[in-house]
């Protein structure tokens, strides 16, 4: 046989015997804005705030129109996002760390976090932004699965310290520059970890109050300083995307963008067409923007109105990256999230979430339940007389004030059909008593087992800053 032909045949034979190289697992960048309203992006209908980067991510991925935050205020929302669990399973009862939760308390290090899941699968893990789950070393990001952390421990209205790992950033604190600095840190992390899969959590402080524009962005927006801050955040996300493209990582990077809860009621933020704000279990407090984009794995140009929650991201992103999250869990906390990856991909399979409990920010008991298109408040006062219930259009506020006067019993329910009545101002509890009964029956076992797989908050003294 010809020696050259023999060599070619041998090479082909060896190639067929070698195991196929496994495709690289996708990277994940999970971006969270702070107090961004449902309506506050161009792709969600805002007429004045320009967000071309996020609009493009939405047009080239999937935009979710029925996505709900983990809670309606900062700390429990972030607990839920990190663990896939309702925050009451982490010991939360009310408020945020530094307000109604003492500074020396935080989420237990025993809780399984999405960062720990990804790190156990040889992902590099990093956070750049606002943590707000615990101020001490035992409750900080380095104790919760993150290899690297550039972060503030509390909200930007509660602290003047930025931490790089266990040391303080020596630069003077400047609220106007936080979005830029968090982005710079995120880019450093991406460049340093580009040779292996990474999980990056980027919880911006923007546009949480005090809303202060970067000096180079002041006055750019036609929606005042709030618009300046949102538009800068959009631009910074674009800077990250450019780095991914430069490093040839864009095709294998999943980007998720969302908000931690609805808008602060005294800010110019909007939740149109929904009523309610931060601290409220109304749609305006819990329904937030969410965009999922992955050129290598998600069909472009879609909009989904399926019910999805922030707690679903842990199982869904794990699934997308080939990680068996169930094998990692010890049942504490019990994971309430469900895998909705097929829905995000655009596969024609049955959607996995049909029901969701909702909390306002000052009670460990859920105030409402959504099932399909129906939403039931167990006590009508939480729909018409609670925190954030007077945030909305003038017509919505007037209707809410009128209905507040009709509440006659302490535990009188309020029922809404969200498709027909997104403002939650037409109480159908009297007209549809069978639906009230149905939702109460669905809610009963869910409420009864909220203590299953529960962890308490833990105490952890905030450590003094170690100067570099």
pLDDT digits (tens, 9 = 90+) for 361-374: 999 999 999 999 99
List where CATH 3.40.720.10 sits in the chain.
Answer: 27-349
Who's near 95: CB < 8 A, 6+ residues apart? Answer: 73, 75, 101, 361, 362
Q: Would you call 43 a catalytic residue per the annotation?
A: no
| DSSP designation for 42 | G
pLDDT confidence of residue 409: 78
Binned at pLDDT 50, 70 and 90, residue 331 comes out as confident
Average pLDDT score over residue span 328-345: 94
Q: Would you call 132 a catalytic residue per the annotation?
A: yes
Contact of 273 with 423, CB cutoff 8 Å? yes
pLDDT of 12 higher than 50: no
Contact of 290 with 65, CB cutoff 8 Å? no
pLDDT of 223 higher than 70: yes
Average pLDDT score over residue span 297-310: 96
pLDDT confidence of residue 424: 96
Beta strands in 216-296 (DSSP E): 253-259, 290-293
Contact of 116 with 145, CB cutoff 8 Å? yes
The DSSP-derived string for 81-126 is HHHSS-GGGGT--SSEETBEE-TTEE--TTS--HHHHHHTTT-EEE
pLDDT confidence of residue 462: 55
**Closest to 110 (Cα-Cα) out of 461, 457, 460:** 457
pLDDT of 467 higher than 50: no
List where CATH 3.30.1120 sits in the chain.
Answer: 367-448
Task: Say if strands 374-377 and 368-371 run parallel, antiparallel, or are unpaired.
Answer: antiparallel
Who's near 271: CB < 8 A, 6+ residues apart? Answer: 37, 38, 39, 262, 263, 277, 283, 284, 285, 287, 391, 392
pLDDT confidence of residue 211: 98
**Closest to 275 (Cα-Cα) out of 14, 37, 57:** 37
Q: What are the structure tokens assigned to 227, written together?
A: 């618009």
| DSSP designation for 149 | E
**Closest to 234 (Cα-Cα) out of 31, 27, 26:** 31
pLDDT confidence of residue 345: 95
Binned at pLDDT 50, 70 and 90, residue 19 comes out as very low
pLDDT of 323 higher than 90: yes
Residue 320: which H helix or E strand, with range? helix 313-320
Q: Please state, for a pLDDT cut of 90, what percent of the chain lies above it.
A: 86
Q: Which of 39, 74, 151, 208 is catalytic?
A: 74
Q: Which of 39, 46, 132, 358 is catalytic?
A: 132
Q: What are the structure tokens assigned to 445, written together?
A: 């076992």
pLDDT confidence of residue 18: 43
pLDDT of 20 higher than 60: no
CATH number 3.30.1120 is the correct assignment for the domain at 367-448:
yes
pTM of the model: 0.94
Distance CA 387, CA 184 (A): 36
pLDDT confidence of residue 14: 43
Distance CA 422, CA 396 (A): 11
CATH (one of 3.40.720.10, 3.90.550.10, 3.40.190.10, 3.40.50.720) for 27-349: 3.40.720.10
| DSSP designation for 251 | G
Distance CA 140, CA 108 (A): 10
Average pLDDT score over residue span 446-468: 77
Contact of 131 with 163, CB cutoff 8 Å? no
Average pLDDT score over residue span 251-267: 97
Binned at pLDDT 50, 70 and 90, residue 22 comes out as low
Distance CA 321, CA 197 (A): 10
Contact of 324 with 28, CB cutoff 8 Å? no
pLDDT digits (tens, 9 = 90+) for 354-411: 999 999 999 999 999 999 999 999 999 999 988 888 899 999 999 999 888 888 877 8
């Amino acid at each position: 046989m010809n020696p050259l032909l023999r060599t070619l045949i041998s090479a082909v034979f060896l190639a067929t015997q070698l195991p196929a190289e496994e495709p690289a697992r996708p990277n994940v960048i999970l971006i969270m804005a702070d107090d961004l309203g449902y309506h506050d992006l161009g792709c969600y209908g805002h007429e004045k705030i320009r967000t071309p980067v996020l609009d493009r991510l939405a047009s080239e991925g999937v935009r979710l129109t029925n996505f709900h935050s983990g809670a309606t205020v900062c700390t429990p929302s972030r607990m839920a996002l990190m663990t896939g669990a309702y925050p009451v399973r982490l010991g939360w009862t009310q408020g945020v760390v530094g307000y109604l939760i003492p500074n020396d308390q935080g989420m237990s290090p025993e809780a399984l976090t999405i960062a720990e899941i990804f790190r156990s699968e040889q992902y590099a893990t990093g956070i750049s932004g606002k943590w707000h789950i615990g101020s001490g070393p035992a409750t900080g990001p380095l104790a919760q699965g993150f290899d690297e952390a550039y972060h503030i421990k509390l909200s930007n209205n509660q602290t003047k310290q930025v931490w790089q790992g266990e040391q303080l950033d020596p630069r003077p604190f400047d609220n106007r520059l936080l979005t830029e600095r968090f982005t710079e840190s995120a880019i450093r992390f991406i460049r340093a970890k580009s040779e292996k899969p990474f999980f990056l959590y980027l919880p911006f402080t923007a546009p949480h109050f005090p809303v202060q524009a970067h000096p180079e962005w002041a006055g750019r927006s036609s929606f005042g300083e709030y618009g300046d801050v949102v538009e800068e955040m959009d631009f910074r996300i674009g800077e990250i995307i450019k780095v991914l493209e430069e490093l040839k990582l864009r095709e294998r990077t999943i980007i998720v963008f969302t908000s931690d809860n609805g808008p602060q009621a005294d800010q110019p933020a909007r939740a149109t067409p929904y009523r309610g704000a931060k601290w409220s279990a109304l749609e305006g407090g819990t329904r937030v923007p969410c965009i999922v984009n992955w050129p290598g794995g998600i069909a472009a140009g879609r909009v989904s109105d399926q019910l999805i929650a922030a707690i679903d991201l842990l199982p869904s992103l794990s699934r997308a990256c080939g990680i068996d999250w169930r094998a990692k869990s010890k049942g504490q906390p019990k994971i309430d999230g469900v895998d909705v990856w097929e829905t995000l991909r655009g596969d024609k399979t049955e959607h996995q979430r049909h029901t969701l409990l909702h909390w306002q920010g000052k009670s460990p008991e859920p105030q409402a339940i959504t099932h399909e298109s129906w939403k039931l408040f167990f006590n009508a006062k939480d729909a018409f007389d609670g925190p954030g219930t007077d945030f909305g259009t003038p017509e919505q506020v007037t209707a809410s004030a009128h209905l507040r006067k009709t509440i006659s019993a302490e535990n009188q329910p309020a029922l809404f059909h969200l498709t027909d009545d997104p403002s939650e101002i037409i109480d159908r509890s009297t007209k549809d008593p069978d639906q009230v009964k149905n939702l109460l029956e669905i809610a009963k076992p869910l409420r009864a087992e909220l203590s299953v797989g529960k962890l308490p908050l833990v105490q952890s003294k905030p450590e003094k800053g170690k100067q570099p």
